[in-house]
Structure 1
Amino acid sequence: MDDFTKVIVSENDISRKLDDIAEQIRTDYAGKDVLLVGVLKGAVMVMADLARRLPPSFQMDWMAVSSYGSGTKSSGVVRILKDLDTDLTGRDVLIVEDIIDSGITLHWLLNNLRSRGANSVEVAALLRKPEAVQVDIDVQYVGFDIPSDFVVGYGLDYAEKYRTLPFVAILKPEVYGG
């Protein structure tokens, strides 16, 4: 715990919020052909825990996109590192995200997936930083609005560390040079 200023979302809070989000998704998508799209690597924890709460008819696929390079701020240039294996034509797609920060990458991803013939493309995100958002994005499901501090845990990393923490915590600036 020496690397964190404080835990801002506990393991129990995450679990309860994912229960609530899953209930809304089950209702909203009843009878639909749903594809959950996880954005690697950060969304792995959220995707796994959320998917287990959803009907077994929901399918999963993964993308890896990058706009960060090796830094802590978005570069604004999005690259697909791993594309989907699934055809989106006529599917209801739900992008599962760990966090919405600037929104630049997600905005690009929404446009990209909508251009592939999906019936609908919506977003479920565990975390959102309202003060950091630079692009207006309609997010269907949001777990927690958090401050603009640099956070780690529950899939979120700094230099590939801290992803496996079961909670979300603010990383001390001296740890990442902020």
Structure 2
Amino acid sequence: MEKYKILLELALHRYDEVNRRNEIIDSKSKSMIAFIGVMLTIEFSAIPALINIFNKTPITNGVRILLFLGIASICCYLLSIAYFISAVNPQKKFEEAPVMDELISSGNDELDELVAKNIVSLKKCVDKNHNLIENKARKSKIGFDFLKYGVILTVILIILFILMNWR
């Protein structure tokens, strides 16, 4: 029985680790969604200023570059937010650890067998949750890459905008 107790403790510890990782990934993804919302707000609030430039100056290569950078950065932000949302809202649900009420109510005759079965079902649960988290982490990484590109494009856009209006 002692070997099953150790295996059960290890399995429960692993389940707790996987559960914490799930919460961390969800928390980071939600923070990134909020940050992207701020970036999109900044980008969209800059549109009237860009329209003002378009009305004052003829369409030059500089204006075309600004327009391209603005559209490209917004696209990067939208792709990024889509990946973060899909990471937070997965298609499959996170599985709960199996309920082990049978262990408490059963007699000692079947206890070893029940503990062994529950260890196996707990391991399957942990494996499924681990795969789900790996998928979430992959989506979050892709979302972060798009966010990074969007921020770079926004910084370039701001620098060029300032340089074009420097007089």
Higher normalized contact order (CA 8 Å, seq sep 6+, divided by chain length)? 2
Same fold flag (TM > 0.5): no
TM, length-normalised to structure 1: 0.21
Q: Which has the larger radius of gyration?
A: 2
Q: Which has the higher helix share?
A: 2
Structure number with the higher strand fraction is 1
